[in-house]
Amino acid sequence: MGAETPVNEPNLGAPAATGSTTPFGANGSTAPSSVATDGPTTPSGADEEGPIARPDATEDFTPAQPKVWADEEGPIIRFEGISKSFGENLILSDIDLSIARGEFVTMIGLSGSGKTTLLKLINALLAPDKGWIFVDGEDLALADKIELRRRIGYVIQSVGLFPHMSVRGNVEYVPKLYPKSKRPATIIAPEELMDIVHLERELLGRFPSELSGGQMQRVGIARALAVRPKIMLMDEPFGSVDQITRKQLQASILEIQRELGVTIVFVTHDIDEALKLGNKVIVLNDRRVARFASPDELRANPGSEFVRRLVFKE
């Protein structure tokens, strides 16, 4: 796309990075020196290329065992000993978590508990201070982060539609980032995307300013689904719409998840929404995962006073 790529939408991808990377351990090698860094990494835009530098790695870094796994039956997202700080402020500490393929996982916690931080670690908008993250069998420290983000759908509360593009232009944006010869075979046509998110096809010719809040959020979901990702990250996507529209969107996203089998990680501040949508719920508290269980398990066995009070809204 060259100069036409907007610089204010780093999560949607950018022109492809040159070369490729190999997950550590895939060929029996030790970690390359390019993993090393002289200082902490910072969130980067889509125009930055290359693998993520793991901040705690050094040139002679050798883990106890090769940090690679590739099991189509195993978890699609896995955290091992993840910690993340911003300056002196520790946000997440020693997070161990596995999310199975096809799960709808909601994430709840107090403001500042690290929900969005955890979400952004999955698509490499942030890098951990220590630990390993694997997405679909790939160690993110060695991944091409631009290519990774193109393969992961991302929906945020503010939607982030490009105002100068029509609805069609917005939903076709990510597929068009790929060279024609390398476009995924899984691309979904704009017309089909509109059907999936329950919007009239005639809206493809309109611009975001001509849509309601609920319609814009559905277009945002359609854009995130354009290359039929295995994973979709959603950061409080329904927080800015009215209650009637919110319930409609909740029903729609459940239907989409069942139809496409996409793994969804969904951040919310609403415990009712978390329990309604998720077949698993992550509860964050005091920088750690306080509980990761099904809604029924959370109700029957909260595991702590904090989780009990959160679930039962006491």
How far, CA to CA in Å, does 253 sit from each of 56, 238, 263? Answer: 38, 11, 12
Local confidence band at 74 (pLDDT 50, 70, 90 cut-offs): confident
Task: Decide if pLDDT at 270 tops 60.
Answer: yes
pLDDT at 57: 41
pLDDT at 48: 38
Task: Work out how many domains the chain is built from and give that number.
Answer: 1
- Across 179-188, average pLDDT: 89
Residue 31 identity:
A
Task: Decide if pLDDT at 11 tops 90.
Answer: no
Task: Provide the token pair at 277.
Answer: 């949508």
Chain mean position to CA 147 = 13
- Looking from the CA of 92 toward its CB, the CA atoms found within 13 Å total 28
Local confidence band at 65 (pLDDT 50, 70, 90 cut-offs): very low
* 129 vs 9, more confident: 129
Closest CA to 124 of 21, 29, 236: 21
DSSP SS3 for 18 = coil
Give pLDDT tens digits for 273-294: 999 999 999 999 999 999 999 9
Closest CA to 262 of 229, 294, 308, 295: 229
pLDDT at 170: 97
pLDDT at 137: 92
Query: DSSP of 210-224, one letter per residue?
Result: GS-HHHHHHHHHHHH
Strands ordered across the beta sheet of 152-156? 152-156, 231-235, 263-267, 104-109, 280-285, 288-293
- Across 221-236, average pLDDT: 96
Using CA atoms, how far apart are residues 240 and 246, in angstroms rounded to an integer?
9
The region of weakest confidence among 56-60, 125-129, 193-197 is 56-60
Element (H, E) at 288: strand 288-293
Task: Decide if pLDDT at 23 tops 80.
Answer: no
Q: 263-267 and 104-109 as β-strands: parallel, antiparallel, unpaired? A: parallel
pLDDT at 248: 95
Tally Cβ neighbours within 10 Å of residue 203: 17
Burial class (CB in 10 A: 0-12, 13-18, 19+), 64: exposed
Q: What percent of the chain has pLDDT over 70?
A: 77
Task: Provide the token pair at 5.
Answer: 């790529």
**Domain enclosing residue 256, as ranges:** 2-311
Domain containing residue 257: CATH number = 3.40.50.300
Write a three-state SS string for 253-286: HHHHHHHHCCEEEEECCCHHHHHHHCCEEEEEEC
Asked if residues 197 and 221 have their Cβ atoms less than 8 Å apart, the reply is yes
Q: Supply the mean pLDDT for the chain.
A: 82
pLDDT at 132: 97
Tally Cβ neighbours within 10 Å of residue 181: 5
pLDDT at 72: 60
Task: Decide if pLDDT at 8 tops 60.
Answer: no
Closest CA to 301 of 277, 281, 273: 281
Closest CA to 278 of 108, 112, 105, 127: 105
Local confidence band at 94 (pLDDT 50, 70, 90 cut-offs): very high
- Looking from the CA of 259 toward its CB, the CA atoms found within 13 Å total 13
Using CA atoms, how far apart are residues 268 and 277, in angstroms rounded to an integer?
10
Give pLDDT tens digits for 136-157: 999 999 999 999 999 999 998 8
pLDDT at 260: 94
Rounded to the nearest 10 degrees, what angle do helices 243-260 and 213-224 cross at?
20
Give pLDDT tens digits for 28-41: 333 333 333 333 33
Task: Decide if pLDDT at 55 tops 50.
Answer: no
Task: Decide if pLDDT at 103 tops 80.
Answer: yes
Task: Decide if pLDDT at 200 tops 60.
Answer: yes
pLDDT at 148: 94
pLDDT at 159: 77
Using CA atoms, how far apart are residues 170 and 160, in angstroms rounded to an integer?
10
